[in-house]
Amino acid sequence: MRGFSLPFARFKTGLAAAAAGMIVSASVQAHAVECINTTCTLASSAAIAFQPTITITKNADIDFGTVLKGNCIYSIDTSGTVTGSPPVNCSTLSGSPHAANLTVKGSASMQVTISVGGYTADSTVTPSAARGKYNNGTEQAFPLNNVAAPTSAGKTLLIGASVTTAGTETNGASYAPSFTITVLYP
Amino acid sequence: MRAMSRTLMVAVCAGLLTMTAAPGSSTAFQPAVQVNAHITFVQPSTATKLSDVSMGHLRGQGYDQISLGTDGILRASGRAGEVQGQGQPSVIKISNTRDSVINFVSSNYRGGDGIGAMRAQCSLQAGGKNCMDAPVGGGARTLYIGMDMTVTDGVGLHTGASLKQPSFDMSIVYQ
């Protein structure tokens, strides 16, 4: 064992961290280990940087409020403004509409990519065209590629979307179509 | 031999770590959250006019002001003195607006030919408090519409087809 200078403890630490959900941002380089009798010497060291796991906290879902029943497309932007199309028959009536509000936390240095998928209708109410406003930037369609590192303090992601309605919905009833937001290190 | 086994062990460990580190290689490392889009629907309310405003027959001339209350009482005053009679307010049935707050708004007054300025009045019960431009809670409603109007010197005798029918629109506006 004497002279065995391989930083094996770091590898063990890395494995434990990975098992705990940490993201490793750099792959390990191949190592040349020279052993003479019982003495081994590490020819090069491995540089490993661990990035914290990305977490997403949902502070609020989207809420369109109460709208007129009809064959419509209702859209809500990230500022919470609801528009109906066609406007003559499709308008918002009451409530306090707002966009979804998420907090994304993670690396202080690695950018992230935010994508959407898994659009799921609730009966005749079908979601589509989600749009995001990340870190107080410009509202845009997903995916949001290589946007600012979320940091441990977290960055805000506001989300708007559209829903298509058939006009056969139950009067006075609430619906909750959904979709999934995923955040990844590129 | 021990050195060889350690070398192999290191290689195995490095391989495992490289596999684990690949971003997106495992669903365990894909933070995702489901976003719900809540939306509530209400049936568009309807307004059904059961009757128009009717002031009956006014005889004579020179009535400067004619007012028909939501209770149907007609009051006319002007150069020919004061007259009181009975008319008929317009009655409009409004379907259930549920929990929405609504306003009643009058517009598009059409008079002419001796009928001057007009102003509608409304109440949710005959002769009740004026509900024009005041927020009202939701629910099925019966609206009684009266009106005030000014008769000018140009008014003449009108009967039958030439009966003058001034009009205006009543709108339900959701807040």
Q: How do residues B85-126 score in pLDDT, each as one tens digit?
A: 888 999 998 876 666 677 888 888 887 667 777 889 888 887
Q: Which residue of A has its CA nearest to B15?
A: A28
Q: Give per-residue pLDDT as tens, A86-125.
A: 987 898 888 899 999 999 999 999 999 999 999 999 999 9
**pTM metric for this prediction:** 0.61
Give the three-state DSSP class for A56. Answer: strand
More confident residue, B171 or A8: B171
Q: Do B41 and A30 touch (CB under 8 A)?
A: no
Confidence tier at A9 by pLDDT (50, 70, 90): very low
More confident residue, B127 or B1: B127
For residue B140, list chain A residues with Cβ-Cβ distance below 8 A.
none
d(CA B28, CA B31): 8
For residue A53, list chain B residues with Cβ-Cβ distance below 8 A.
29, 31
Q: Which residue of B has its CA nearest to A18?
A: B20
> Does the predicted interface ipTM exceed a cut of 0.90?
no
Q: Do A11 and B100 touch (CB under 8 A)?
A: no
SS (H, E, C) chain B: CHHHHHHHHHHHHHHHHHHHHCCCCCHHHCCEEEEEEEEEEECCCCEEEEECCECCCCCCCCEEEEEECCCCEEEEEECCEEEEEECECEEEEECCCCCCCEEEEEEEEECECCEEEEEEEEECCCCCCCCECCCECCCCEEEEEEEEEEECCCCCCCCHHHCCCCEEEEEEEEC
Q: How far is B36 from chain A (nearest CA, A)?
A: 4
